[in-house]
Structure formats: C-alpha cells, structure tokens
C-alpha cells in the first residue's frame, strides 16, 4: 500500500446517470487496497441527465471527492484536462465514466508506476462491441500510428495513469484542441501498457457518439499529430505533373506522325479529365482547409473549457493568474 504518495482519480461524466454510483463504489473499493491518500476529481462535462444531483449527493458524503461541473459539454478530452489542471496527486488515473474501463486495474497501474514508468496506459485486447465498429477502430489506430510523426501505441485509449511530471508537461501545453492520447505520447518519458478486456457500458446504454462524431474524432487525431496528408498532396502534385508532361509529349509525337488524329474523337475524355482533376483540387483544398481551421481555433486562444461550479473545492487557487485557471 502507498503511504507517502497521493493518487488522483479523474473520471468524466456525460450522460452517465446510471453509472455514477457504481463507479464511485468500485473506485472506492479499489483504492482500499492501494492507499487512503487519494482524491476523486469527478468532472461533470455538462451532463444533461440527473447525474449532477447524484454527484452532489456523493460529494456531500465523501470528503475524498470533488466535483467539477462544466458550463456545457466540451468533450471528454477537455474534461480530462480540467481534472488534470485541478488535481494535486503525485499521479493521476484517467477513466471514462461508463465503467468500460475497470477500476480493478488500478493496482496493476500503480505497480507499473512504482517500477519507474511515467505513463501506464490500458491496451484494449478485446471489446464488447459490433464487429464492424471494432475493425474500424483497429484500422484507425494503425493508420494513425503509420501517419503520425511520433510513436503512438495502438489500441490504447484514455484509460491511463500519468506521473506528476507528465501531468505538469500536459498542463503546460497551450493548445485548445487537446487530443490527450497523442499529447501523452508526444511528451515522451517511460511508458508501458497493461492489456485488458473492455466491457460494454455498465448501464447498458449505447455510446452517445455518432458516426459523424467518430469521423471527427479520427480526423482530429490524425491532423493534430501528422503532416502526412499535406505531404501526400505534394507527392500527388508531382505525380500528376509528371503524367501531364508525358501526355503532352505523347500528344506532340502523335501530331508529328499522324497529323489531325491526335485529338480525341469526342468530349467525353475531356469531361472525365476535368471532373477528375477538379475533384483532386477540391480534395486538396479541403485538406489544407482542415489545417487552416485548426490554426484558426488555436489563435483565438480560448480556454479549453469553462468551469461553472466546483463542489468540495479544497484547492487554494491563490492570487493573480493562478486563480484565473479556475475558469479555464
């Protein structure tokens, strides 16, 4: 059991009314085997159901528990970021509020941490979900790893333990569009994985993310940690320029050998070429536009989230700029 180190547990909550009590119970039970020196920083990311009332009730009974409530839903990575800015532990464990990530794995995380690892992440060896969505996830992680300019572990989600040195590094990063899985890999340090089976949501509800949400999520991860799409556009430009030069040369040779027969007999070829290159140009502009859009979001320098309320606020915010973090 830990005696001289403090652990921070950071679960997030969005449409998790049916999971809150069970998660609190299992987290508390798991911590009895590890340490009494812990805190639960529960981030209510603008949950529209009755989760807030349950969190308020639990916070009134449990002195270990603090509840941070966002003014609206900002997304899970922004919720984790709020918890990381607030937490005071020597290490923090991030987990989703739907109990797909088992608190019973905390002991293994802490063991790996005490062995000298700064980041211990859960590796999903299997999942309770449909075959198609499972294969899409596998493809995304492997594509992301191939395209990224940093080494990113496959099948590793947000469920992880972060050492204080990693927490400080993440908190120092100024970006607004925060993709924590990539940021966690970017900071470096010594990292290792713990395999586990990811179960379905405890309350039995389907995940709130839509197909559009999954696409946005994958796009955000790739664009945040890869310049490969822009590089591919450059290679495509060189390829089509080379092919165009060959086509011009062939056309000129045919004109010399068989005057009048080099032109195509109809406009169909011309239509196909215009549509093809027009599509390539639109695709290129859209990719460049995605990167410009990310720049546009970052230069506004808005806070990653707005905190509406903190229950059991034990932190001394202090004077000046530090106090301003409470609303960022």
Model confidence pLDDT, tens digit, residues 268-281: 566 666 767 777 77
Q: What residue segments make up the domains of the chain, in order of their start?
A: 7-210+303-327, 228-299
Query: What is the mean predicted confidence (pLDDT) over 191-218?
Result: 68
Residue 326, pLDDT score: 39
pLDDT band at 164 (very low <50, low <70, confident <90, very high): very high
Query: How far is the C-alpha of 28 from the C-alpha of 40, rounded, in Å?
Result: 9
pLDDT tens-digit map of 227-259: 777 777 777 777 777 777 777 677 677 767 766
pLDDT band at 102 (very low <50, low <70, confident <90, very high): confident
Query: How far is the C-alpha of 178 from the C-alpha of 78, rounded, in Å?
Result: 7
pLDDT band at 322 (very low <50, low <70, confident <90, very high): very low
Query: How far is the C-alpha of 113 from the C-alpha of 8, rounded, in Å?
Result: 14
Query: How far is the C-alpha of 115 from the C-alpha of 151, rounded, in Å?
Result: 22
Higher-confidence residue of 261 and 180: namely: 180
Q: Which of 42-51, 258-267, 294-303, 311-320 has the highest mean pLDDT?
A: 42-51
Residue 167, pLDDT score: 92
Residues in the chain: 328
CATH code, residues 7-210+303-327: 3.90.550.10
Query: How far is the C-alpha of 183 from the C-alpha of 181, rounded, in Å?
Result: 6
Q: Give the rounded distance of the alpha carbon of 219 from its chain centre.
A: 11
Strands 91-95 and 119-127: unpaired
């Amino acid at each position: 059991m830990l005696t001289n180190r403090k652990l921070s547990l950071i679960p997030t909550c969005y449409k998790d009314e049916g999971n809150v009590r069970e998660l609190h119970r299992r987290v508390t039970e798991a911590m009895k085997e590890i340490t009494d020196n812990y805190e639960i920083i529960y981030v209510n990311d603008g949950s529209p159901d009755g989760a807030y009332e349950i969190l308020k009730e639990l916070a009134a009974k449990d002195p270990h528990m603090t509840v941070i409530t966002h003014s609206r839903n900002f997304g899970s990575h922004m919720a984790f970021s709020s918890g990381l800015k607030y937490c005071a532990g020597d290490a923090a464990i991030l987990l989703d509020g739907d109990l797909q990530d088992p608190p019973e794995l905390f002991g293994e995380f802490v063991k790996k941490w005490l062995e000298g690892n700064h980041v211990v992440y859960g590796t999903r060896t299997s999942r309770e979900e449909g075959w198609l969505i499972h294969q899409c996830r596998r493809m995304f992680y492997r594509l992301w790893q191939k395209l990224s300019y940093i080494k990113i572990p496959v099948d590793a989600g947000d469920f992880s333990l972060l050492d204080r040195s990693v927490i400080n590094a993440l908190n120092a990063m100024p970006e607004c569009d925060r993709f924590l899985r990539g940021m966690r890999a970017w900071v470096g340090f010594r990292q290792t994985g713990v395999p586990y089976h990811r179960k379905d949501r405890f309350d039995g509800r389907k995940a709130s993310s839509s197909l559009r949400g999954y696409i946005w999520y994958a796009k955000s991860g790739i664009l945040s940690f890869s310049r490969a799409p822009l590089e591919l556009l450059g290679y495509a430009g060189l390829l089509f320029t080379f092919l165009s030069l060959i086509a011009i040369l062939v056309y000129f040779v045919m004109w010399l050998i068989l005057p009048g027969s080099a032109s195509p007999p109809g406009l169909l070829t011309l239509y196909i070429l215009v549509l093809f290159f027009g599509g390539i140009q639109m695709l290129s502009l859209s990719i460049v536009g995605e990167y410009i859009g990310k720049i546009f979001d970052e230069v506004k320098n808005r806070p990653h989230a707005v905190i509406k309320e903190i229950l059991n606020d034990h932190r001394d915010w202090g004077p000046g700029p530090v106090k301003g973090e409470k609303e960022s």
